[in-house]
Structure 1
Amino acid sequence: MAWIFLIISGLGEVGGVTFMKLSDGFKRWKGTVGAIGAGFVSFFFLSKALQTIPISTAYGIWTGIGSIGSVILGMFVFGESRDWRKVLFLSMIISGVIGLKVVSGGH
């Protein structure tokens, strides 16, 4: 269950940063409320995951999910560059997240 909590918290991180973008520097109330809500979800579920998963693994994966999700949303929703180098480095982050899961064993 801890891994499900970690995935939810990572997705909350993606939602939080997306809503921050939409809040226009916290000037738009809908984006601001969304960022606060998503941030709460992210940290709440991260705290639940940390009860079982080591902090080094959980935090690395949490930030990886946030990074990967933010880059993908940036490319497909906000029209950011899809340069092959960006995709290359994104794949490195994905490899790192998978590696952390593999070496964490049965936690």
Structure 2
Amino acid sequence: MGWIYLILAGVFEVVGVTGLNLITRKKSVSSYLIFVAGLACSFIFLSLSMQSLPMGTAYAIWTGIGTVGSGLVG
């Protein structure tokens, strides 16, 4: 289950970064909500994944998913 949580954390990291990009383009309440909700969900799922995975592994995979996903979306 930890790997599923980790993948979800990476996906929500991309959502949070997308929200940050929306904030720089247009400052609106929805942009801020997407940003905050994306990062909050990302950290929640990351912490859940670290209950069964080593912290170093979880962090490396989470950052990799976030980097690649943000690059593809951007």
Considering the TM-score relative to the shorter chain, is it more than 0.5? yes
Aligned residue pairs: how many? Answer: 74
Say whether 1:3 aligns with 2:3: yes
1:23 CA displacement: 1.4
C-alpha separation in 1, matches of 2:49 and 2:26? 29
- Gapped runs of 5+ residues in structure 2? none
TM-score, normalised on structure 1?
0.66
Change in Cα spacing, 1:40 to 1:26, as seen in structure 2 (3 Å) is farther
Identity of aligned residues (%): 43
Query: What CA RMSD, in Å, does the superposition of the two structures yield over aligned residues?
Result: 1.3
TM-score, normalised on structure 2?
0.94
Bigger Rg, which one: 1
Say whether 1:24 aligns with 2:24: yes
Per-residue Cα deviation, 1:71-105 (whole angstroms, up to 9, x for no partner): 0111xxxxxxxxxxxxxxxxxxxxxxxxxxxxxxx
Which structure has more RCO (C-alpha within 8 Å, separation ≥ 6)? Answer: 2
- Gapped runs of 5+ residues in structure 1? 75-107
1:35 is aligned to: 35
Change in Cα spacing, 1:67 to 1:26, as seen in structure 2 (3 Å) is same
1:59 is aligned to: 59
C-alpha separation in 2, matches of 1:14 and 1:26? 18
1:25 CA displacement: 7.2
